Structure 1
């Protein structure tokens, strides 16, 4: 049987022969990677093969793409594919297409080749290796046909590497067991939603409560003591053999945005649970208590309140929030009581900082940085601070046909200026981003000048001084726009979160764990907010990002990752736990 050890020791021609078929009709790839042996890990081998493609000429990369067959194309129908391609297409049932599906794929293949000059390539075995459905394949085909050529070239090459990854796993008899388990768990709870289709899991809805109960059940099955606390956090504890040991906390949130993704937040809960399951099966305990927390609420969908779960753990829960109401008029207090929680017990959830070693969070990146660099994981340096506002602009609604352009008090036109103001002020400044994510003209009509416009502001940066300076300039700019246009402005601050730098010590432990997996350490900023921001108020924090597929799309049903990346993240986190255990204390 082929093993990594044998690949490291055989001569170069034998190495190339052993990897024949990993990359379609392209032996030059293993030929160029052979010189980088020995490989410390399977991940290192995959990266070496990927690097050979990255530094190849454009002609060589296009030849690699053109060596791949069309999906359900003429070669497939005629039985002329390689054994690997035949098996992969059959795994997704492409050999069983209906006449309509064959016709649709034929049309898409023709349009795609005409636009891009190479065949559509997709790892049809999908993120878990079990295979995509024909419907999913056709939908992906149609969506990617809208890409620019440069973006599609990059995505096609990424799909080539994913195909090679799956083939290497098969060649070496390797199954990403922890990663596959986490993906399966994400699929299970990802099917429970407040609304259909898609995934929406808002605080204390039936889908939310069902998800909490299932996570608690998985924790117990993994060998943990588990309960759901007064705010709805799911807490699992894997105790050390020493009762007075300190506690390392990890976890993330299990609520979602509206029509969100399956891995946002939930990966950071289920990955450590899978690791505990592995440790428990081995009879292995860590010299510190490990506490995994599924935070009940981070997204703020139902009550427009963020970080409810982590703020309670930090002793920073604001009791005034209990009187806020959702769109149906239900107070948060009533929702808690209905779900079986005791609002009066929330204050008692606060942890003592002196009992903690720190807090670490694994999270899907929710962006394209790791994806574009071809790296499965990265170490987070800091979480950007955030300032969020709701803005209401009020002018005068009047007749669109009879009001001269120079006499209008158009709230929507003022809002348009605000959008451009935010874009201009936040462009070209390191780590600074600004977004108007909501824009509404209430009671609008095609023949009425908008009298009211509502919009949101979201300003983020890793440096709080940079962020606050941008906020000051934007708010002053809004006032100037409104004064010039005769518009009344109202603003409500809804979030003010300071940037949270990660602990250099914990970052280095993560970085060393990444490198021991044969992957280069890469540090990056988190532009998105996370529960670790709250936890940083009471203890040292660190984060590990995993690669996000589909161009880095998140907060979207297209959010995706692979079982292999989840597996590698699990191995990094497990290594982190074990090496943290070797340290007598954190400085």
Structure 2
């Protein structure tokens, strides 16, 4: 495989996947939706054309077997998207994994597989990485029945409509069967672009706490209800939004975001009676992450007590920062050096399936630049030549990992720190 031949096929496949979307701007492939399944079927067809065998588990994770054998090296990412998202988030990782797996087919002693995880994005149900959580056994009992989308449907119900039964998924992704997991992803930021570096080797993935806040006000006529004494749930939510923003600003390397507000009755002539907000707090340092969560929770208590708008807080997801394994990271860095491709080590502020896999098997994450720094938006950008370069690096890392495992006679354990 050369970068030129990889780029040609990547362009065609990225174009084809971008057409698999619900109507509207950008790419919309919700988790556990018909469009997500269509994307998985398209990728599976391409893999069969490559000579790979295809498996799908009850959670909808699609596994493309390019090289039989156990233990095996695993590559991949996801194919679902946020509403009106970009065409590169997740897809470049699956396609790059397929290119590297095809390029090394028949060369390695270890098996080689590519996984397209389902339901990685947390936009629909408030919790990300459901597919990889189910594959690794990390999903808590009953989770799929508790998580609900904006219509009130549970994740289990939505999945069942597309023929999936994720609650029946038996964990299959773990060492020693999975020797190492490698994922390629767009950076979703500007570090690589501003430093004019072709690739990034990620050392730590930020942790994230996501929780819902149900604010109870009192719905009244907006014209006849005096301002004093109102119990306006949206006004309380507005204060909480600004408080979360202040916490994020104070966190140095952390962030805090209120990305969703559902207002009832959502009428211009009615004082809002109830609001549901979803808050996302992230940091690469576990202590600072906990401190930020505590600060946001304290602000919620103070604001809602002062305004007489009781609030209920429900945790949706909580993950500590994850230090990725040194062994596959070294293989990626060495492969970059072999190809004389400049790279740098950097953290990831976004969550990825690699963070879930890292708890059960050695995992590493390779970033390609995002030229405009925008992601989760229709104008998300990525250069195909950078993805093609990542494919070459992936193939080189697979060869190194295969040699290392064969020489050691054993598979290294995960080396991650919370």
TM-score in terms of structure 2 length = 0.89
Q: 1:218·1:273 contact (CA, 8 Å) conserved in 2? A: no
Partners of 1:452 and 1:188 in 2: CA distance: 42
Q: 1:457 to 1:323 in 2, by over 3 A?
A: closer
Alignment correspondent of 2:45: 217
Equivalent positions of 1:34-113 (< 5 A) are none
Higher relative CO (Cα under 8 Å, sequence separation at least 6) belongs to 2
Partners of 2:157 and 2:284 in 1: CA distance: 37
Q: 1:381·1:501 contact (CA, 8 Å) conserved in 2? A: yes
Alignment correspondent of 1:458: 280
Equivalent residue in structure 2 for 1:263, among 88, 103, 122: 88
Q: 1:194·1:205 contact (CA, 8 Å) conserved in 2? A: no
Q: 1:252·1:266 contact (CA, 8 Å) conserved in 2? A: yes
Q: 1:358 to 1:464 in 2, by over 3 A?
A: same
Equivalent residue in structure 2 for 1:577, among 384, 398, 414: 398
How much has 1:350 moved relative to structure 2?
A: 2.0
Q: 1:534 to 1:428 in 2, by over 3 A?
A: same
Alignment correspondent of 2:113: 291
Q: 1:332 to 1:521 in 2, by over 3 A?
A: closer
Q: 1:293 to 1:469 in 2, by over 3 A?
A: same
Alignment correspondent of 1:346: 169
Equivalent residue in structure 1 for 2:22, among 190, 194, 216: 194
Alignment correspondent of 2:36: 208
Alignment correspondent of 2:129: 307
Q: 2:3·2:392 contact (CA, 8 Å) conserved in 1? A: no
Equivalent positions of 1:392-471 (< 5 A) are 392-400=214-222, 403-471=225-293
Partners of 2:102 and 2:180 in 1: CA distance: 21
Q: 2:198·2:343 contact (CA, 8 Å) conserved in 1? A: no
Partners of 2:261 and 2:279 in 1: CA distance: 10
Q: How many residues align?
A: 406
How much has 1:345 moved relative to structure 2?
A: 4.7
Q: 1:364·1:548 contact (CA, 8 Å) conserved in 2? A: yes
How much has 1:409 moved relative to structure 2?
A: 2.9
Q: Does 1:513 align with 2:335?
A: yes
C-alpha RMSD over aligned residues: 2.5
How much has 1:332 moved relative to structure 2?
A: 4.7
Alignment correspondent of 2:63: 235
Partners of 1:258 and 1:266 in 2: CA distance: 15
Partners of 2:109 and 2:209 in 1: CA distance: 40
How much has 1:578 moved relative to structure 2?
A: 1.7
Alignment correspondent of 2:415: none
Partners of 1:517 and 1:580 in 2: CA distance: 16
Q: Determine which structure has more spread, i.e. the larger CA radius of gyration.
A: 1
Partners of 1:345 and 1:436 in 2: CA distance: 33
SS at match of 2:104: helix
Q: 1:333 to 1:177 in 2, by over 3 A?
A: same
Write out per-residue CA displacement over residues 373-394 of structure 1, whole angstroms, 9 at most, x where no aligned residue: 2222101111111111111222
SS at match of 1:351: coil
Alignment correspondent of 2:345: 523
Partners of 1:182 and 1:346 in 2: CA distance: 31
Write out per-residue CA displacement over residues 354-388 of structure 1, whole angstroms, 9 at most, x where no aligned residue: 22222111111112221222222101111111111
**Structure in which a larger fraction of residues adopt strand:** 2
How much has 1:285 moved relative to structure 2?
A: 1.8
For structure 2, the residue ranges without an aligned partner over 5 or more in a row are 413-418
TM-score in terms of structure 1 length = 0.64
How much has 1:331 moved relative to structure 2?
A: 5.5
